[in-house]
Amino acid sequence: MVRPARRSRSLRHVTRRAPGGRNVTHYVEKMPKKAHCANCGVALSGVARARPMKIQNMAKSQKRPERPYAGMLCSKCMRRKIIVDARQ
């Protein structure tokens, strides 16, 4: 029987083949969703997609791109915002 803490569906069930040839089920924490642009909603590229504990131990440059509004806006919306702010 699976231990009670593993019965929850909040953990992802992954079937693996053990060295002995039998199939076993591993229980893995689910990955968070991709970060999305606050303006247009497109998925952001270059933003780390990991559990909070792993992100906490990453370097700042690995968590998000090195540019203005990184991790909040996609590159297209960022360019548009900088141009609009420069005109005002």
pLDDT above 90 for 8: no
3-state secondary structure of 14: strand
pLDDT digits 0-9 by tens, 29-71:
999 999 999 999 999 999 999 999 999 999 998 999 999 999 9
CB 24 within 8 A of CB 18: yes
Alpha-carbon distance 37 to 63, whole Å?
15
Distance of CA 68 to the CA centre of its chain: 20
pTM, to two decimals: 0.71
Q: Where are the alpha helices (DSSP H) in the chain?
A: 52-56, 60-63, 75-87
CB 6 within 8 A of CB 14: no
